[in-house]
Chain A
Amino acid sequence: MSDTPLLRLDEVSRIYGAEVKVHALDGVSLDIEVGEFVSIVGPSGSGKSTMLGLLGLLDLPSLGTLSVDGTSVADLSDHDRSTLRGEVVGFIFQQFHLIPHLDARRNVETALLYRQMSPRERKRRAMDALEVVGLAPRHEHRPVQMSGGEQQRCAIARAIVTEPKLLLADEPTGALDSTNAANVMEIFRDLNDGSRAIAIVTHDPAVAASADRRISMKDGKVVADDQLSGGAAVSSFGGTLGGAS
């Protein structure tokens, strides 16, 4: 590991509520490096979503430090944090969250707005990203005209078009049938080429098994952090995650 990882959580806690305090995340420390393919697993209420919000710079820790390339994000203004988020993180959601009134290309281009980029350049990059996920021929289709798998591929194109160092996915196959889910996971494996980190929050063991590293959470704490090899767990899967699904 280098001295300044892409993301570093140092004793991070996230506490909700003023009177009744809920520790959604409780003193978590971990690093994520460029080139890693990480899955974050755990039962409902384990703190996965909170972790996702923090890793995606959508949220700030209540205690502890969250750093991106060595810079603590707590010190940034909303504008700077938003800009940093746009540069560093690409999001993929379970519900795709495409903007319904825009076609596929314009959805992808949305990620490139406000970057002093010419429309021509923006269009070219969007088409390139759609090409990567095999959706270029359908770039004029709006979300309602696409299948779930296509929508998720479009969302992946939107996430990678900014060339982020971290691809953050929240149950990316949760709303898809098995064929489309396999298709999407195939794309993730292709994207795992060492130029970026990929973090997938999931409670699907098959998805988690695709990753190289598995962070298991329970009750706001990291209970296991395993390196997997060849898609198989080094430590026992069910042991740390009793009744996860």
Chain B
Amino acid sequence: MRSVRDLVGVAVAGLTARWSRTLLIMLGPIIGVSAIVAAVGLTESAKGDLQETLAALGDNLIRGEAAASFGADAPTFTEDVVERVNRLTTVEGSTATKAVSGIITTPYEAARSYYTAFPTPVLTADEHFLEVMQVELVSGRWLNSFDQDTAARTAVVGIGLADEFGFREGNRTIKLNDLDYGVVGVVERYPLDPVFDNAVIIPASTADADFDVGLEPDTVYVRSDPAFTLETEAALPVAINLGGDIETSTTVLSDALEAEAAADSTLQIIVAAMGLLALIVGGVGIANVMSISVIQRSAEIGIRRALGHGRSLIAWQFLIESVAVGLLGGLAGALVGVGIVVYASRIAGWVFVLSPELDLFGIQLPSHYVGVPTLYLIGVGAALLTSVFAGLYPSVKAARLEPLETLRLG
């Protein structure tokens, strides 16, 4: 071990004796690694807010819609669809909704023609909605069982509609086909299914009483055990059908968002490849400078050989110098890359993503290894590997120098 420490000491002394040269050849790995880290970091951070949303909402929410069997109009489930779904052991909870069509609502009379042409969606929902969707209210309360039981004219509106109609400024009623409904709550934006953002949500019983639409829901949202989302999705149509003729089309709601949140991999690969190129060119630079260094330091090599250092120790000395340049340059490059990503994210208002899960030519890599982001390990590892290759030729050359020739005896 002491020999290793001696070697490192000799290499460090050799490098620090020529600071400006060392820093210059370090530029290659610094530029290369920082480009790789920044390429991946920037493309990921650009989608960072979506990825964050996705992580918060979970990827285990399934939407089941009653599908139109041939010729049927406005298909619906049975009234007990939630109970049927909840019999699946992998289901953690479910909630049913129904679209109520033909309802006109307008914030003021002059806008009636516009809102007739583009009707505000009206949906029914049950009391499990918040819990299953994992969505928050901005203000007020959700529709409760009292509202459902008494067919009360209460409504919760999406935040988009609340802003549009001015409910956040104190307007407390909304007219649905000229019937006054009391707005009891405003629900937060819901990226997994944006239909709620501009909708009026009322109790199913009230909808049936006022508009005669029936109590059968047409959509069910199912929160699955996260480990069995796909299995639950597959089992859902059967659980709802129970041998009947109800058809169900299912969607895992996060899928669309996930696709949108994925980083632009083409751009990522192009910039990372440029970084790799810079790294390789930097490696050639290291090999060049080290080769010249070996010639310039031939007397030093000769004297070390005369002092009893074998060929292998000389080779190791120069290889370690090269590797130290690669390692330090790689680490500095990773820091510079992170700096670029942090700064750019701040300017662009992105969510800074440090450690994406990587897909390296089809090999899936986790985001971290023993607490260190995989991205850094790859960047620094690439710099290290490059410097080992770069150092091989100069070190072999140094080891092959004949001390008698370099010391100019006699």
A-side residues, CB < 8 A to B, are: 44, 48-49, 52-53, 56, 58-59, 78-79, 82-87, 89, 91, 93, 95, 97-102, 106, 110-111, 113-114, 116-118, 158, 162, 170-171, 201
Asked if A113 meets B6 with Cβ closer than 8 Å, knowing A53-B404, A58-B403, A82-B308, the reply is yes
Whether a CB of chain A sits under 8 angstroms from the CB of B128 is: no
Nearest Cβ in chain A — how far from B199, in angstroms? 75
When A and B form their complex, what is the total count of cross-chain residue pairs whose Cβ atoms lie within 8 Å?
Answer: 93
Measured CB to CB, the nearest residue on chain A to B17 is: A101
- Can you give 20 contacting A-B residue pairs, CB < 8 Å? A44-B410, A48-B410, A56-B306, A58-B403, A58-B407, A59-B404, A82-B308, A84-B308, A85-B308, A86-B309, A91-B303, A91-B307, A93-B303, A97-B306, A100-B300, A106-B13, A110-B307, A114-B308, A116-B2, A116-B3
B409 touches A83 (CB 8 A): no
Residue in A52, A87, A99 whose beta carbon sits within 8 Å of that of B409 in the complex: A52
A82-B13 CB under 8 A given contacts A52-B410, A53-B404: no
> Chain B residues near A87 (CB, 8 Å)?
308
Q: Which of B14, B300, B404 contacts A58 (CB 8 A)?
A: B404
B interface, over-half SS = helix
| Known contacts A53-B404, A171-B410; A113 and B10 CB within 8 A of each other | yes
- Pairs A-B, 10 closest by C-beta atoms: A86-B308, A49-B410, A101-B17, A82-B310, A79-B310, A49-B409, A97-B303, A113-B6, A91-B306, A111-B307
Task: Flag if B305 contacts A114 (CB, 8 Å).
Answer: no
Report the Cα distance A110→B302, complex, angstroms: 13
Closest to A90 in B: B307
Known: A99-B300, A170-B409. A58 touches B2 (CB 8 A): no
**In chain B between 110 and 163, which residues have their CB closer than 8 angstroms to a CB of chain A?**
none
**What CA separation (Å) do A95 and B407 show in the bound complex?**
9
- Contact B410 A114, beta carbon cutoff 8 Å: no
How far apart are the CA atoms of A88 and B316 in the complex, in Å? 24
CB distance from B22 to the nearest CB of A (A): 12
Cβ–Cβ contact B13 & A102, under 8 A: yes
Q: CA of A106 to CA of B14 in the docked complex: distance in angstroms?
A: 12
Contacts of A48 in B (CB 8 A): 410
CB < 8 Å neighbour of B3 from A58, A100, A106, A114: A114
Evaluate contact between A97 and B407: CB separation under 8 angstroms. Answer: yes
Q: How far is the CA of A45 from the CA of B14 in the complex (A)?
A: 36
Interface string of B1-38 (1 = CB under 8 A from A): 01100110110011001100000000000000000000
Once the chains are docked, how many angstroms separate the CA of A148 from the CA of B2?
Answer: 33
